[in-house]
């Protein structure tokens, strides 16, 4: 698959992910497309506080995930340590994709991490693709391949994918915030679907309840103010409302957003 075609697929998958109601499914949807885009064979995605003893490790394809599940605690700790990317990104503010070979040089092939990856996943090289706005801990994806290192063109394509990854991660965080706010009972997805609200419109509705301006909502979601207004118009139409306050009250009545607690 050519790089341009792979990027088109990545974009299509990212758009599809914004219509996925289940936040846990978002990163698995992206992983395969990211591997194709960057010429990789497997992807690990890191999306929370990750240290040597804790943190979510998601992997694709399923064969790679199965291999990781067989690792012992010592091997998982080594993998979570993030050599050599943890130190690389901690020492700088830029979040440009980079490979382990280019970061560690001749130390990489003989490192314990490289030997573990060769044994567990039969890969030789790793490409770090962090989320562009992540600080500490740095979150994002690790793309793996065997044979030669990732090319300059593949690093450029990884950089082009970073805004798509960031948009989906922001969507995931907001969907999880929305679910937590509504509590364990009920069926929030069904209520949103009954009102024909897309997952993207649901997250915009959640931000409306926080009294954010259209500009602030756009910054949170990584979209233009014009796109925010379009989503808001759709929400008004679907809920039968005319303004922000009426929309928030209607959404609370329908159980689409949390109701305010007692003062």
pLDDT for 47-94, tens place per residue? Answer: 666 666 777 778 888 888 899 889 998 998 888 888 999 889 888 888
Q: What is the pLDDT of residue 159?
A: 93
Highest-pLDDT range among 32-36, 49-53, 77-81, 234-238: 234-238
Residue 4 has pLDDT above 80, yes or no: no
Residue 61, preceding peptide bond in cis (omega within 30° of 0): yes
Radius of gyration over every alpha carbon of the chain, rounded to an integer in angstroms: 20
SS3 category, 78: helix
pLDDT in tens, 109-159: 999 999 999 999 999 999 999 988 777 677 889 999 999 999 999 999 999
Mean pLDDT of 96-114: 96
Q: What is the pLDDT of residue 9?
A: 82
Q: What is the pLDDT of residue 263?
A: 46
- The whole-angstrom separation of Cα 183 and Cα 188 is 9
What pairs with residue 44 in β-bridges? Answer: 59, 142
Mean pLDDT of 191-200: 92
Please give the share of the chain, as a percent, with pLDDT higher than 90. Answer: 51
Q: What does pLDDT average to over the chain? A: 88
- pTM, two decimals, is 0.86
Mean pLDDT of 8-15: 84
- The whole-angstrom separation of Cα 245 and Cα 158 is 41
Q: Write the CB contacts of 36 (distance below 8 Å, at least 6 apart in sequence).
A: 1, 6, 9, 10
Mean pLDDT of 224-244: 96
């Amino acid at each position: 698959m050519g790089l341009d075609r792979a990027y088109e697929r990545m974009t299509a998958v990212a758009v599809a992910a914004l219509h996925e109601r289940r936040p846990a499914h978002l990163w698995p949807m992206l992983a395969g497309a990211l591997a194709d885009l960057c010429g990789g064979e497997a992807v690990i995605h890191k999306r929370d506080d990750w240290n040597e003893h804790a943190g979510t490790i998601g992997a694709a394809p399923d064969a790679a995930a199965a291999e990781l599940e067989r690792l012992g605690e010592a091997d998982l700790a080594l993998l979570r340590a993030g050599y050599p990317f943890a130190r690389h990104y901690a020492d700088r503010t830029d979040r440009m994709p980079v490979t382990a070979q280019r970061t560690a040089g001749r130390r990489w092939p003989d490192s314990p991490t490289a030997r573990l990856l060769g044994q567990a996943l039969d890969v030789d090289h790793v490409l770090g693709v962090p989320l562009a706005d992540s600080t500490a801990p740095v979150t994002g994806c690790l793309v793996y391949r065997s044979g030669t290192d990732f090319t300059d063109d593949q690093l450029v394509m990884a950089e082009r994918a970073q805004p798509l990854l960031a948009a989906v991660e922001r969507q995931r965080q907001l969907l999880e915030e929305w679910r937590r706010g509504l509590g364990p009972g009920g069926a929030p997805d069904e209520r949103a679907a009954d009102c024909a609200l897309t997952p993207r419109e649901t997250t915009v509705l959640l931000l409306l309840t926080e009294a954010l301006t259209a500009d602030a909502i756009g910054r949170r979601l990584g979209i233009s103010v014009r796109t925010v207004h379009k989503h808001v118009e759709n929400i008004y139409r679907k809920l039968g409302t005319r303004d922000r306050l009426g929309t928030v009250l209607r959404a609370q009545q329908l159980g689409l957003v949390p109701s305010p607690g007692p003062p």
